[in-house]
Amino acid sequence: MLPLSLLNAAQNKPMLVELKNGETFNGHLVNCDNFMNITLREVYQTNSDGDRFWKLKECYIRGSTIKYLRVPDTLLDQVKEEQNRAREANRARGGHTGPNRGGRGAPARGTGAVVVAVVVGPFAGAEDVVADSKKQPV
């Protein structure tokens, strides 16, 4: 669960955003992107001393100005559960799961595929080929 995936999963959740200059924004996440740019709805803005407040209907925050975001404690568990459910649903449809989905990696263990390495001929010549290729003008 990468930090930005967590942010994506936090859509419509309440959060507190503190900017580098110390201002904070309390609101519900509407949208975000991979630059950490975000839009919030029903926002309470606080200045860096914490003694002045503004109420905003909606606001946009450029990702590069953010110091940190505080998200609900329950979010991590919710996301994990969601991922599990998605995996179960996928398995029920007969889909493949796991890290090597459709990739070109080694075959999964226990599938019956056996790889036998066969040494075909003398390898003495191979070195010469490599050595020769280095002499070629580029």
Partner 1 sequence: MPFHRHNSGKMLVILRDGRKLHGVLRSYDQFANLVLEDTVERIHHGDTFAENWHGLFLIRGENVVLLGEIDLDKEDDVPLRQVDYRLLEPYVKQDIEQKKQRDDAKSKVLYDKKGFCKEGGEGDGY
Chain residues that interact with partner 1, rule: CB under 8 A: 1-4, 6-7, 20, 22, 36, 63-64, 66-73, 75-76
Residue 99 CB, nearest distance to partner 1 (Å)? Answer: 16
Residue among 72 and 107 whose Cβ is closer to partner 1:
72
- Cα dihedral sign for 30, 44, 34, 87? negative
For residue 121, give every residue at least 6 positions away whose Cβ sits within 8 Å of its Cβ, in sequence order, or none.
none
- Least separation in angstroms between CB 81 and partner 1: 15
Nearer to partner 1 by C-beta: 84 or 95? Answer: 84
Single-letter amino acid code for the residue at 126: A
d(CA 112, CA 76): 38
Residue with tokens 């859509």, as numbered in its chain: 11
Q: Which is nearer to partner 1, 73 or 127 (CB)?
A: 73
- Closest to partner 1 by CB, 67 vs 96, is 67
- Of 72 and 95, CB closest to partner 1: 72
CB-hemisphere CA count at 13 Å for 8? Answer: 8
Contact yes or no for 12/38 (Cβ under 8 A)? no
- The nearest distance, CB 37 to partner 1, in angstroms, is 12
Minimum separation from the CB atom of position 126 to partner 1 (A): 38
Distance of alpha carbon 128 from the chain centroid: 46
Shortest reach from residue 61's CB to partner 1, in Å: 11
